[in-house]
Amino acid sequence: MPTESLSNICNQSLDESKAEDVIILDVRTVSSFADEIIIATANSNRHATSVSNKLVESLKEKKINIIGVEGESSSGWILVDCGDVVINIMKQEQREFYDLESLWGEMMPSKESI
């Protein structure tokens, strides 16, 4: 399955589950483990669990292989690894603390160097 289709399926599921501030980072030029990283915010631990459960269910319905699900709802961060696409579902506090957007943004080439 093309990565674009996988990220669209994930994005649709996250949207239906009311995840907030969903972003998709194309990291193929700086990462050997994934082509895209999706980051989404959940408004509570329970919401993070619900969002990740719905996402896993949607992926299984489409017969997409899930490599693993890491994290616990009490941690405020759940990661769903689908190989080419890695989805991070985080509470706002964890998202701000870890700031994955900046971390990956620093590694990605600037537009001038492309």
Tens of pLDDT, residue by residue over 41-81, are 999 999 999 999 999 999 999 999 999 999 987 889 999 99
Whether the pLDDT of residue 109 is over 80: the answer is: no
The per-residue pLDDT for 8 is 93
Alpha-carbon separation of residue 92 from 11, 50, 77 (angstroms): 18, 16, 10
Asked if residue 108 has pLDDT above 60, the reply is no
Q: What is the mean pLDDT of residues 16-43?
A: 92
| 80-98 confidence digits (pLDDT tens) | 999 999 999 999 999 999 9
> Would you state the structure tokens that stand for residue 40, as one six-digit string?
């989404």
Contact 61/75 with Cβ under 8 angstroms? no
Does the pLDDT of residue 30 top 60, yes or no? yes
Task: Please tell me the pTM assigned to this model.
Answer: 0.86
Q: In the chain, which ranges are continuous DSSP H helix?
A: 3-16, 45-61, 92-98, 100-107
List of domains in the chain: 3-93 (3.30.460.10)
Cβ-contact 74, 45 below 8 angstroms = yes
